[in-house]
Amino acid sequence: MRLPVLMLACLTTWVTAQQQTGTNDNGLTGIAKQYADSFQNLGGRILPDKVNVYLIFYGNWTSSNAASEQSIFMNFVDKVSTTPWFNTFKEYTDNHGRKVTGPLNLAAAVNDAGSHGLNLTDVNTHKQIVVDAVHSGYLSPTNEIDSEGFYVLLAGKDVTDSGFCNNHCGYNYNSDHFQYMYIGYPGQCSDRCIPSMIKDASPNNNPAVDAAITIFSHELQDILTDPQGDAWVIRNGETKIELGDFCSGGNVSLDQWFGNVSTTENNAKYNLAINDKKYLVQTIFSRQKKACVLAS
């Protein structure tokens, strides 16, 4: 897939959407209004049942603050599939009737201080980082790719990427054998990649990692329902639309994007609580309710 096409499936920068306050007359987002009735599995596979998640923390993650950021992110990944928010994925099936049910299993995590440099340029480099991490033995005792799971490449604050901050805040992609997502460090461009409502005060007192979780909640929708780009996806010329795009973007109101938002004692906004932890996640489009929802 060419990079310009790929970017259309990425998480759109936050600024445009934050300026949008209106909603469509019927409550549908623009994409949902146009494509909801035709959105279907094109015959490709999904990631049903238990899904292993492998984290690669790329760059400098050695400071005490970085260790805390890793803990916050890993806790979300490990627990999110137990929530009502995750239940909406059950609406998305393959042609054999299997559903996206989870659970997500945090299988392994590894630090990579910068094996391919700290100035990343393209998807091929991202994919090679994943392959090398697997072959290192730290993610898999057999050094084998897990085609039924997915990999998360989370960049540290010292890592730059040619597309990050300019074209996307995160994206998901695949090779023939695996699927992965890349998330840059949102603190590098807080006006673009940290939602305004958590830029000053965030649920876990760390706007950058809280924003990374928000971005993950978008990319997760795509990677579970369309891991290889041939399942729950709409292709219209050069435009590629996946599940996460139904409830995000420049023509989506904040209510549609984030649903019912609450406020913590320190004035941080959140819409999902897992035990005593709170997060801001993107809503998921429910085909049954024809709406962007936080729970099913």
- Written as one string, the DSSP assignment of the chain is --HHHHHHTSPPPHHHHHT-----TTS--HHHHHHGGG--B-S-----S-EEEEEEEES---SHHHHHHHHHHHHHHHHGGGSHHHHGGGG-B-TTS-B----EEEEEEEEES-TT-SEE-SHHHHHHHHHHHHHTTSS-TT----TTSEEEEEE-TT-EESSBTTTBSEEEEE-SS-EEEEE--GGGGHHHHS-GGGSSS-TTS-HHHHHHHHHHHHHHHHHHH-TTSSSBEEEETTEEEEGGGGG-STT--HHHHH-S-EE-TTS-EESEEETTEEE----EEETTTTEEES--
Write the burial class of residue 20 (CB in 10 Å: 0-12 exposed, 13-18 middle, 19+ buried). middle
**More confident call, 41 vs 249:** 41
125-148 residue pLDDT tens: 999 999 999 999 999 889 999 999
pLDDT of res. 250: 84
Retrieve residue 288's tokens.
Answer: 């049954």
**Mean pLDDT of the region 250-256:** 92
Q: CA 135: distance to chain centroid? A: 25
- How far, in Å, CA of 1 to CA of 176, rounded? 12
**Residue in 205, 104, 93, 200 with CA at minimum distance from that of residue 150:** 104
pLDDT of res. 283: 98
Say whether the peptide bond before residue 103 is cis (omega within 30 degrees of 0). Answer: yes
Question: Where on the phi/psi map is residue 165: left (φ > 0), alpha (ψ -120 to 50), or beta?
Answer: left
pLDDT of res. 25: 40
Give the total residue count for the chain. 296
Percent of the chain surpassing pLDDT 90: 86
Domain count, the chain: 1
pLDDT of res. 152: 99
Contact 154, 122 (CB under 8 A): no
Backbone torsions φ then ψ of 221, nearest 5 degrees: -60, -40
268-293 residue pLDDT tens: 999 999 999 999 999 999 999 999 99
Q: How far are the Cα atoms of 57, 61, 62, 155 from residue 66, in angstroms, in the given order?
A: 10, 5, 6, 11
**Mean pLDDT of the region 101-112:** 98
Contact 250, 17 (CB under 8 A): yes
- How far, in Å, CA of 231 to CA of 254, rounded? 28
**Mean pLDDT of the region 7-35:** 55
pLDDT of res. 26: 52
The alpha carbon dihedral of 82, 100, 246, 10 has a sign of positive
**Mean pLDDT of the region 72-94:** 98
Write the burial class of residue 64 (CB in 10 Å: 0-12 exposed, 13-18 middle, 19+ buried). exposed
197-236 residue pLDDT tens: 999 999 999 999 999 999 999 999 999 999 999 999 999 8
pLDDT of res. 31: 95
Percent of the chain surpassing pLDDT 70: 91
Range of the domain at 137: 3-293
66-76 residue pLDDT tens: 999 999 999 99
